[in-house]
Structure formats: structure tokens, C-alpha cells
Chain A
Amino acid sequence: MTIALVGNPNSGKSSLFNQLTGLRQKTGNFPGVTVEKKSGKLKLPGGKTVKIIDLPGAYSLYPTSQDERIVLNVLTNPKDENYPDAIVYVADITNLEKHLLLLTQIRDLGIPCLLALNMSDIAEKQNMKVNEQKLAGFLKMPVISVSGRTGSKVAVLKEKMGELLGSPSVHKKPFYPFNEVEKKTGGRIQAALKIENPYRAKLIAHHYNKLPFLSENEKKEIANICEAEKFQNLRLQISETMQRFETFVPALRSAIQQKGSGPVFTDRIDAVLTHKTFAPLIFFVIMFFVFQAIYAWATYPMELIDGGFAMLGEWVRQTLPAGWFTDLLTDGVLAGLGGILIFIPQIAILFLLIGILEEVGYMSRAVYIFDKLMQQFGLNGRSVVALVSGGACAIPAIMSTRTIGNWKERLITIMVTPLISCSARIPVYAILIGLVVPDGTVMGIFNLQGLAFMGLYLLGIVAALLSAFVFKKILKSDEKSFLMMKMPTYRWPVWRNVWQNIYQKVMAFVVEAGRVIMVISVVLWVLASYGPATAMEEAERSALATAKAQSLNEAETADLMAARKIEASFAGHLGKAMEPAIKPLGFDWKIGIALLTSFAAREVFVGTMATIYSIGSTDEETSVRDKLAAARNPETGAKVYSAATAMSLLIFYVFAMQCMSTVAVVRRETGSWKWPAIQFFYMGLLAYLGSLLTYQLMS
């Protein structure tokens, strides 16, 4: 048995869903689309366990968004796997007049239904009262006030749900009486498709073109019927909507005993938060704090995870006998696992803060504030949140784009977000800027290195916006983009919703993106630790000979060995094979290896450089920098890291998609390998051309 929660956006459906299912829920996607599907299990008072589905928010069965289309597809197709046996219709009790249209449509479809008047706690505060019995009598269905926020009367709701499943469905007089055209068209479609419910036939007449469950033949047949009967799609939709409102609004008004005071508080806050001049400023101040919090709070747990995995690796190395298996376990599997878990603090903190802003109602305001600006670049008001979050980490930023309703705008946001410089680029920037930019000041106050940092960040932002503009021109979409949005009243967050959101986001990352990351890190490990057998042996022998000749101590010998080995490995060979391609950018094969291994995560660049220059045991950024500064080309004697090379490398790191975790997340969020592949190549191309230009101009 399946019960679906249906209601308008902002009806508090998710809170109620969380109340009903608790942690017994799972998320997935509706077939073929990337609209999130939440379902869970609920044990009814009678002992029966039912499946609860949280259908996306919708205003009516005349869809204008992907979310609404799903509701229509499910509710007009009894063979759909998500087709409910009964519906709990959730409506915001303080906004009832605007929330009941869809309910009357659902009742005409003949699906057993009850009305849950949600947010009763807020209605109480506003001194608002609804006569439930009167309303129930008019709607001919059970009506019950609940609160998804406080959990009040949820137990009663469960009882009613049980009764609803047990009650036989009776034919009720429809809310909307058909006119002659509708009767004739509907009747013919009912006969042709053997449909019992007249309203379902009417909806099919309206939407047959886009209903996935109809065959081509059926579509043709319906098209013929509609044409023959002169079925005027839009006209009839409007007259139906009008008539429904005219029927239920008077009845509703008589059932509301006391009118609430309205959202005065919200109006006062919005006078400031959506102010024409101050609003963007306030937004950036808020985002600045979000950003600071991520840096400040995530650093410590990230160091713990990092240190923990280092210790674990060390312990495994000590405990197990040395050999390829131990190496695979420590440098492949454990390193990969650590590389996945290290992102959890950032993901959790970002979604904690974004979740609070969303729950409170601020996010809708952000959309309104930036809508016009973002539109110019083919983005959505909500994209601004993803772009700003991308400054911390692209992974949670991309996951946060789920709130963008328009697919094209969401896709563009996903495609350009990794161009924003994330925190993983900082160590690379720090080393290379330290190499080429003198540590002085200009005009007495501006730190030169700081300016260089800012320049790189700006470059990323500009590249993201321009790329978005190009995608806007290339990508085609027949989905219309709307702003048209109700502003929710400001409310105190429901913590249960916030926690559940964090939990789901973290799990989605660990489980789904984690698998891809794991595979890639093992592959990278194989590439960096294995090579043609003779070459590897030769490297080992020569390293030992050199160590003996220079009488190096144990640590120095190990470092040298690692350096020679990575040179002889497959990664080394790849680096050397790459050299002709990257030479015009000013890179040698050593940088080539680092570029390859950085794909695991950008900050790996530092570690790889340390290994190649055989200082593996000291992971300090300053010692890597000194080593790089001293490196010279063995043939010409010229510095390897000239200003031109270092700048070129910096530009490369600004643009290139060197993060397998992001690739994995993009695949998950877009549902195919196509988009991450396109993203990888366009960003790679930007990086290559950018570096080429920089090096050729500077050298």
C-alpha cells in the first residue's frame, strides 16, 4: 500500500514527511529525470506498514515545471509504480485560499484523500481558527489540523490515514462540472482508453503530448479526438481553474472563523533584507560568514581525519608484512577512503548553514535579489548560492543546485561552479605565488602576494560567468524559465529537517561519489607505484648506488628511492610521454606527473612535488618551495620554475578540472557521464590555452 503526500510548494510537506517516516526514508530519482524522490516507511496504528512517498510540490495538475509534471504523470497513471492508494493532501492553514486548487483536482480524480491542515502552531499564534467539520462537510473528506513543525496531532493523522486506506472509495459529485466540449471529448477518450474517471480523461486530453505512459498510437488517437471536438486546451484550463476557485473560496471563507493577522513580521524584515540597495550587500555579508564558518569549523575535523588516516596507514604498514598488498591497502585504498571522508566536514557545515537559511526562508529572497543579474548569464537566482559555496568546495556547491527548478539553468550552474577557486587550490597557489611574486607591498598597504591571490580568484569568477554565458547560447531548452514565486513567511528553522538534509547529502556523497573516487585512487596508485619491471629495478639499483656514493642517511635514501621509482613508474612514463604536449606551456615531465596525480585532488600537487624532488618525508610547503626554487634544467642550467612557468602553472590550476570527487558528483547529479566529460574537456581546454598564452607571452 502506498500513500502519497501532495501539496503546494511551501506547504511544509517535507516537515510532515520527516515526522511520519523519521529516519526510515530513502532518496532516489524519479525515472528519467533528476527530480528527487523521497520515500519512507510508516507503521500505522493498526500494525500495517505502508510506503509513504513525498511527491514534489505542485500548484495544480497543469504543470509548468518538471516537479509539477511528475505529479501529473504519477496521478494520471494507475499503472505507475508510485501511484498512491490514498493521498494526504498537505495545505498551509494560514494560506488556505491559495492551497486548495490542487486538492479539488485530486478529489475529482477519485483517489481517496484527506486534508491535513499543516502549520497549525503558526495559525494558533496568529489567532486563526478553521472550522474543520464545516470544511470536511464541504470537501467530503476528513480534515485534520496538524503541525509538521511541532509534531502536534501527527498521531491522529496516522490513525486517519489507516481509516482512509480501509474505506471504500465512493463516487462523489465532481467539483468541476464539464461543459459540452469537455463531456464529448472526455467521453470519447474514456471509451478509447477504457478509462473510468472522467477527469482523468480530461487531463489526458490536455496533456497527452507529454504523458510518458501513452503509446504513439494512443497519442494519435487522442489528437484526432481533440481536433474533431475542437478541444481548446488553454481556454478550458483557464475556465476550469476559475470555476474551481469560484466554488471553493466562498465555502472556505465561511469555514474560517477568525482571520489571522498576516505576516507583518515578515514584511518588516523584508523591508531590509530585500531592500533595493542593501540586499546584495547583506547577502554577501551572510555568505562571508558562511564561508568563514566553513574554514574555521572544518579545518579541525579535516586535520583529524587526515591525521587519523595517516596513523591508520602507518599502523597497517607496521602490522602487515611489507609487500604490494600492504602498499595497495595504505597508499591506494586507505588514501582513497581518506580522500573521500576529508570532504565530509565541509559538506556537512555548508549544508548546515544553507539548510538553516533555506528553512528560515532567506533563500527565496536570495533568488529574488539575484535573479536578473544571473539571468544575463543563463543562470538562476539560486545559482549565486552554488557559486559562492564553490569558493569553499565545489562538491557541496554542486549538490546544492538541486533547488534550481529549471534544468538548463541548473546544468549551467553545475558546469561552471568548479571554475570558482575552491579551498583545495590554496596550497598550490601558496607555493607557486611564493615562488614568483615578491613578498612586498604596493602603495604601502597592498601585499603583492595577496593581490596575486585575489587576481586568481577573480579570474575564476570571470571564467565561470563567461562560460555560463557561452553555455546559455549553446544549450537548447524548451522548458520555460520562471521566477514567479511566493515568498514564504520567515520562520524559525525545524532542526529535524536540517539534520536530515545534512545526513542525506553526506550519505549521497560517501556512497555514490565515493565509489568512483575509490576506483580512481586505486588506478592512480597503480600508475604511480608500478612500472615496467626492468625500469623499476634499475631505478632502485641506481638510487641505492647514489645513496652509497653520497653516504645518505636512511630517510634521505628512502626519499631518493621514492623519487627514482616514481620517475620509472607508469605515471613517470606518462609524464614523459606528455612532455611534448605540455612543453609549450613551460612544463617538464615532473610537472606532468604532478598534473596527473593532482587529479585525485588538487592539493596532492604539493605531496607529489615533494616525492619527485625526493623530500617526501618533509611535507612542509616551505621546503617544497625552496626545492622548486632551486630546481634547474640539467641540460641548459636554466631555472625550471621561471616566473613564466610558475604563472602558467597557476593559470592551469585555476581552470583545469583536477578533482575526481567533483567529476563523480557531477555524474551523480546529472545522471550521466556525458556532462562530466564535457566539463572535463572544456575546462581542460581553457586551462591548456590559458597556460599556453601565459607562458608564450611571458617567456
Chain B
Amino acid sequence: MESPISKLKKGMKGKIARFTDEMMAGKLMCMGVLPGSLVKVIRKAPFHGGFYLKIDGYNMVLREQEAANIVLTMEGKK
């Protein structure tokens, strides 16, 4: 099953399948967020804010519209 990170709930995880925006992809990849990286949603920010993620063991925060550009493949339920 595939889903952009922005649609995920706390605790869900998966592997990055692709990016939907090239410019965003360029920036994320420079920071070491690559296709194949493992992502887990740790929590969401107050005031309906961004996402606190664990990516390959590092902690990283993204805005919702930034997270919307990262598509994960997730195991299990279809």
C-alpha cells in the first residue's frame, strides 16, 4: 500500500517509494532523505502543525505540505 506521509497517523511507518515534487525531492535528498529510507511518524505538532518523523534513525520535522510530497510504501494491510 502507498500513501503520502501527510496522510499517516502517529506510529505508522514505511519505506520511501518516491517523491511527487522534484524541487522538494532535491532538497530532501540533500539532507539524506532518499528513496528507500525508513520513515516513522513519531508525533504531530501542536496547532495542527507539522510532522515529527524518524528517518533512518534521525529525527526530523516537516511541514504538512512538505510531507505530502513523500510517498511511502507500507507493509501489511491493503
Contact = CB atoms under 8 A, between A and B. Distances in A.
Chain A complexes with chain B = yes
Interface of A: 59-60, 62, 64, 95, 97-99, 101, 234-235, 237-238, 241-242, 245, 262-263, 266-267, 270, 274-277, 279-280, 368-373, 482-487, 489
A372 B26 contact: no
Nearest to B23: A234
Interface residues of B, number: 31
Given A242-B34, A266-B59, A368-B52, A482 B46 contact: no
Of B30, B49, B59, most buried by chain A (CB within 10 Å of CB) is: B30
B23 A483 contact: no
Contact of A487 (B47, B60, B66): B60
B62 interface: yes
A487 B61 contact: yes
Contacts of A59: 30-31
A372 B61 CA distance: 12
Contact of A373 (B29, B49, B63, B66): B49
B32 A482 contact: no
Given A238-B29, A482-B27, A486-B31, A276 B60 contact: no
A242 B29 contact: yes
Given A238-B22, A372-B47, A373-B49, 11 more contacts: A62-B26, A62-B30, A242-B29, A245-B29, A262-B57, A270-B52, A370-B46, A370-B49, A371-B63, A484-B28, A484-B66
Contacts of B74: none
Contact of A482 (B42, B44, B57, B66): B66
11 contacts: A59-B31, A97-B32, A98-B32, A101-B32, A238-B25, A262-B57, A270-B42, A274-B43, A276-B44, A482-B66, A486-B60
A494 B47 CA distance: 33
B45 A369 contact: yes
A285 to B, nearest CB: 15
Contacts of A483: 50, 61-63, 66
Contacts of B31: 59, 98, 484, 486
B61 A485 contact: yes
Interface in B36-72: 42-50, 52, 56-63, 66
B26 A241 contact: yes
Contact of B46 (A62, A101, A262, A276): A276
B51 to A, nearest CB: 9
Contacts of B28: 484
A39 to B, nearest CB: 26
B59 A267 contact: yes
A502 to B, nearest CB: 28
B13 to A, nearest CB: 15
Contact of A64 (B27, B49, B60, B63): B27
A598 B27 CA distance: 49
A280 B26 contact: no
Nearest to A276: B46
Contact of A369 (B22, B29, B46, B57): B46
A60 B30 contact: yes
The 4 closest A-B pairs by CB, nearest first: A98-B32, A372-B49, A487-B59, A60-B30
A669 B28 CA distance: 30
Contact of A485 (B29, B44, B56, B60): B60
Contacts of B45: 274, 276, 279, 368-369, 371-372
Contact of B59 (A237, A270, A277, A369): A270
Contact of B63 (A235, A237, A277, A484): A484
A235 B22 contact: yes
Contacts of A64: 26-27, 30
